[in-house]
Amino acid sequence: MRILAALLLLAPAAAQAQTLSFQADLVSDYRFRGYSLSDEAPALQVSLTVESLSGFYGQVWASTIDEYGAGADGKGATVELDFTVGRAWQVGGYDLDLGLAAYTYPGGEGVNYLEIPASVSRTAGDWIWTLGAAYAPRQDNLGDQDNAYVYGAVALAPAAWPVALDASLGWEDGAFADRKLDWSVGVSKAFGPITLGARYLDADDPAVDAAVVGSVGLRF
């Protein structure tokens, strides 16, 4: 209830939608900051995003996951459901984004939490550079710990190229990791509303196995 109340504080601005978009993806493995949340099995992911001309937005995102947050009945969540509201704007040629995200796991016990994501991006020709961070304040469901994640990403998609390339490097410390580094390199190709992709991911955590993740996405 506290998570939903916090999101509702920003919801009226995000609700004044000027654009509406939907995306569905089938991935061979749901990886989040290096970790597999689907037990290295395929996952279906869908999202619905509303945006206003003033830059406010709201998004609902869902994915199938490996059972998580089992309670006294021995059952946990098999779906992750995330709610995000925020604002994106431009300053001096830089794209800024600040939001509030709620990660929820219906059916799971004691695993929902809040996070504050922020990023700054710059487009230079065919390149897009991004620096970002996500901070989860101390919360009961994080064992009264906080969590910090910072990352850098770059994307390259020249019009003359048959594919687009991207890469990222992230660092995480807190409730979910102990000074963990993760990285990825991806390639994708769009065919109208359909995008095919492949991504190599790994991390320096012994619990993470390197993998190549394939994806098929539909956006409209």
Model pLDDT, residue 18:
81
Residues in the chain: 220
Model pLDDT, residue 145:
97
- Do the beta carbons of residue 64 and residue 76 sit within 8 Å? no
Model pLDDT, residue 16:
54
* Parts of the chain with a pLDDT under 70: 1-17
Q: What is the 3-state secondary structure (H, E, C) of 39-52?
A: CCCCEEEEEEEEEC
List, for residues 33-78, the tens digit of each pLDDT value: 999 999 999 999 999 999 999 999 999 999 999 999 998 889 999 9
User: How many whole angstroms from its chain centre is CA 13?
Assistant: 22
Q: Which domain holds residue 172?
A: 2-219
Model pLDDT, residue 17:
54
Alpha helices in the chain, H assignment, sequence order:
2-8, 11-15
Model pLDDT, residue 73:
87
* Rounded-to-10 torsion of CA 193, 160, 28, 24: -20
Structure tokens belonging to residue 155: 């994307």
CATH number at residue 177: 2.40.160.40
Q: Determine phi and psi for 74, rounding to 5 degrees.
A: 80, 5
- Domains: count for the chain: 1
Model pLDDT, residue 10:
45
